[in-house]
C-alpha cells in the first residue's frame, strides 16, 4: 500500500513538473472539477500567437486561493480577470503557448 501511494505521488510530481502543457480540453475538465461547477456553466476558448485564454462562464462561483493555485499548478493557466454581469461570472484564465507540445 505504501509503495502504490509513493508511485502515485511520484507520477503526479512528474506530470506537474513536465515542460509540456496539458491539452486545452483537459484544462477545461480540471477547472470544471476544481471549481466544483454546476451544469449551468460553459467555456469559451480564444488564442493568439503566444497566449491561450479559457473564459469560464458560471452562475455559481465559489473559489478560494487554494483552488486557483491548484488550477495554475495542474494546467499552467493563471486567473487574469473576473467580471460579473446579470448573475453570471466570467473567469478569464490564460497561459503562454511557447511550451505547448504540438504532437
Summarize pLDDT for 57-74 with one digit per residue, the tens.
Answer: 988 777 789 999 999 999
Residue 14 lies in a domain: no
- Whether 79 contacts 91, CB under 8 Å: yes
Residue 8 lies in a domain: no
Residue 45 lies in a domain: yes
Residues pairing with 58 in the sheet: 41, 89
Summarize pLDDT for 1-42 with one digit per residue, the tens.
Answer: 444 444 444 445 444 444 578 899 999 999 989 988 777 889
Provide the number of structural domains found in the chain: 1
Q: Is the pLDDT of residue 96 over 80?
A: yes
Rg (CA), the chain: 15
> In this predicted structure, what is the pLDDT of residue 11?
47
In this structure, what DSSP letter does residue 17 have?
A: T
Residue 88 lies in a domain: yes
**In terms of residue numbers, what domain contains 56?**
20-96
> In this predicted structure, what is the pLDDT of residue 99?
53
Tell me the pTM: 0.71
Amino acid at each position: 500500500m505504501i509503495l502504490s501511494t509513493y508511485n502515485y505521488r511520484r507520477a503526479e510530481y512528474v506530470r506537474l513538473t513536465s515542460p509540456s502543457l496539458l491539452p486545452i480540453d483537459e484544462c477545461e475538465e480540471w477547472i470544471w472539477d476544481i471549481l466544483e461547477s454546476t451544469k449551468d456553466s460553459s467555456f469559451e476558448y480564444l488564442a493568439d500567437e503566444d497566449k491561450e485564454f479559457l473564459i469560464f462562464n458560471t452562475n455559481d462561483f465559489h473559489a478560494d486561493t487554494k483552488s486557483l493555485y491548484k488550477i495554475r499548478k495542474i494546467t499552467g493557466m493563471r486567473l487574469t480577470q473576473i467580471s460579473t454581469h446579470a448573475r453570471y461570472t466570467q473567469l478569464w484564465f490564460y497561459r503562454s503557448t511557447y511550451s505547448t507540445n504540438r504532437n
